[in-house]
């Protein structure tokens, strides 16, 4: 048996005195430094193997849900908008099926169906996207079209939306290539006139041109850190063939375009006046690609967004449900906030009706409800913490007084 002082590491040759730990084997020894190096080599080797085709070990394992299940989940958080929810559920389900289908030599290749959602502000476009992201087990990114400019100008390139998708899945390229991107505020990149302009439209038509290939499916070189601030960075190649793009926008003023196309002023004895009024109140239900073209989206882009759906304007009944019914409804949120202070919040039914009436007056959609709640409850949230009060009872008189005191009451009715 060799003496303790003559023991050495069989890998690096260091003696027992030069290392902290020396692990004994059958015919040799290894020190803690060599163990650490070996661990690094193993991690690198496993990483390379994973990049070379072991995408199955990705944390994003596809869990296919049926369209009815997806819609049921959306119903818990989003009130109404059944048409948009059905179309979104089917699109997401078909997206899963496209990815998981086994491609045969003579098989039919299914093309993806990118979606465009049109709806007034505060009707739930972004909420639908966020809610579906919560449920899905695929990488999901929400990007804003207003930040993009044509290549070569100050602003972000359209490729940076894929940077966010990569960041959300920890740069797992295989997972990102079957993800979903929600492009918000698409109407803000509409060209300024229906006729092609002689002058440059760097944040409008130029961006639309940049989106064309990406929406259809192509290999894009994506800057991992986004933007043009790091020109020396190594680009990542991403194939967008299996990325589903869902676009949304308010398209403010498009109802006038639809009204010109849809004749709602028919006259005669057999005309159903109630039906006409209902049609006038929700012209978005008649939207098609032609209206979007007149608004300023180029035909090439519309061809790559084949599914067009609308979100209904919110009526009194829907706004009332939004206040109380969803899992994360406003009243439940404020009740929880007061609960944290040990205060039981009680709100009368007349107060809820008052909030809904004001939200309809100002035409701010569901976001307007939050502003109205804040204007009524801000004083209480300021004063109650630390006072030891156990209950706050909000009556109609109290709500009207607080609302009239706030700056919001000075807004002009739309």
Mean pLDDT by 10 residues, the chain (414 residues): 68 87 87 89 73 50 80 90 92 84 71 89 86 82 87 78 89 88 90 57 79 89 71 82 91 87 60 63 86 91 92 89 90 93 93 92 85 92 88 93 82 56
Query: Cβ neighbours of residue 202 under 8 Å, at least 6 residues apart?
Result: 149, 150, 153, 155
Same domain flag for 252 and 320? no
Domain boundary among 270, 295, 310: 310
The reply to whether 265 and 133 lie within a common domain is yes
User: CA 372, CA 369: separation in Å to the nearest integer?
Assistant: 5
374: left (phi over 0), alpha (psi -120 to 50) or beta: alpha
Structural domain including 248 reads 67-310
Residue 58 is assigned to a structural domain of this protein: no
Q: How far apart are CA 370 and CA 355, in angstroms?
A: 9
Specify the pLDDT at position 160. 86
In a domain, 381, yes or no: yes
Q: How many distinct structural domains can be found in the chain?
A: 3
Q: Cα–Cα distance between 293 and 171 in angstroms, integer?
A: 36
Q: Are residues 91 and 173 located together in one domain of the fold?
A: yes
The answer on 113 and 14 residing in a single domain is: no
Instruction: State the helix-helix crossing angle for 316-324 and 330-340, rounded to 10 degrees.
Output: 30
Give dist(CA 398, CA 401) in Å, integer. 5
- For the entire predicted model, the pTM comes to 0.75
- Residues 255, 81, 305, 281, Cα dihedral to 10°: -10
CATH number at residue 378: 1.10.8.60
- Asked if residue 251 and residue 124 are part of one domain, the reply reads yes
Contact 134/327 with Cβ under 8 angstroms? no
CATH of residue 96's domain is 3.40.50.300
Q: Tell me if 255 is assigned to some domain.
A: yes
* b/e code 14-52 from CB counts within 10 Å (16+ = b): eebeebeebeeeeeebbbebbeeeeeeeeeeeeeeeeee
Q: Do 206 and 177 share a structural domain?
A: yes
Report the alpha-carbon distance of residue 413 to residue 256 in Å, rounded: 20
Count CB atoms within 10 A of the CB of residue 216. 16
Domain termination residue (choose one: 277, 295, 310): 310
Cβ-in-10-Å burial (0-12, 13-18, 19+) of 393 comes to exposed
Q: 214 and 173: one domain?
A: yes
Q: Does any domain span residue 374?
A: yes
Check residue 267 and give its pLDDT. Answer: 53
């Amino acid at each position: 048996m060799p003496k303790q002082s003559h023991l050495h590491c069989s890998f690096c040759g260091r003696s027992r005195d030069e290392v902290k730990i020396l692990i004994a084997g059958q015919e040799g020894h290894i020190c803690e430094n060599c163990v650490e190096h070996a661990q690094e080599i193993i991690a690198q080797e496993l990483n390379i193997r994973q990049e070379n085709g072991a995408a199955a070990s990705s944390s994003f394992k596809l869990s296919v849900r049926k369209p009815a299940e997806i819609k049921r989940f959306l119903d818990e958080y989003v009130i109404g908008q059944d048409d948009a929810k059905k179309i979104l559920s089917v699109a997401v389900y078909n997206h899963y099926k496209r990815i998981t289908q086994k491609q045969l030599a003579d098989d039919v290749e299914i093309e993806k169906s990118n979606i465009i959602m049109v709806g007034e502000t505060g009707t739930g476009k972004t909420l639908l996207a966020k809610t579906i992201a919560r449920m899905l087990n695929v990488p999901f990114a929400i990007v804003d079209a207003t930040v993009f400019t044509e290549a070569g100008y100050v602003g972000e390139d359209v490729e940076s939306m894929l940077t966010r998708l990569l960041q959300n899945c920890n740069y797992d390229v295989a997972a990102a290539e079957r993800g979903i991107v929600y492009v918000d505020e698409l109407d803000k990149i509409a060209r300024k006139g229906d006729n092609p302009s002689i002058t440059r439209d760097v944040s409008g038509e130029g961006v639309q041109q940049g989106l064309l290939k990406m929406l259809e499916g192509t290999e894009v070189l994506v800057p991992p850190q986004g933007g043009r601030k790091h020109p020396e960075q190594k680009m990542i190649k991403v194939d967008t063939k299996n990325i589903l793009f869902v676009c949304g926008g308010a398209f403010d003023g498009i109802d006038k375009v639809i009204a010109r196309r849809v004749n709602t002023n028919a006259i005669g004895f057999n005309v159903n006046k109630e039906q006409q009024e209902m049609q006038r109140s929700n012209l978005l239900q008649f939207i098609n690609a032609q209206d979007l073209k007149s608004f300023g989206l180029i035909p090439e882009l519309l061809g790559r967004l084949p599914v067009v759906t609308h979100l209904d304007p919110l009526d009194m009944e829907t706004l009332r449900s939004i206040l109380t019914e969803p899992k994360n409804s406003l009243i439940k949120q404020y009740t929880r906030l007061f609960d944290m202070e040990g205060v039981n919040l009680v709100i009368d039914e007349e107060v809820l009706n008052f909030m809904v009436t004001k939200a309809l007056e100002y035409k701010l959609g569901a976001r307007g409800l939050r502003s109205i709640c804040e204007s009524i409850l801000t004083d209480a949230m300021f004063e109650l913490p630390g006072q030891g009060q156990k209950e706050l009872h909000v009556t109609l008189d109290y709500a009207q007084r607080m609302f009239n005191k706030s700056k919001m009451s000075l807004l002009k009715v739309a």
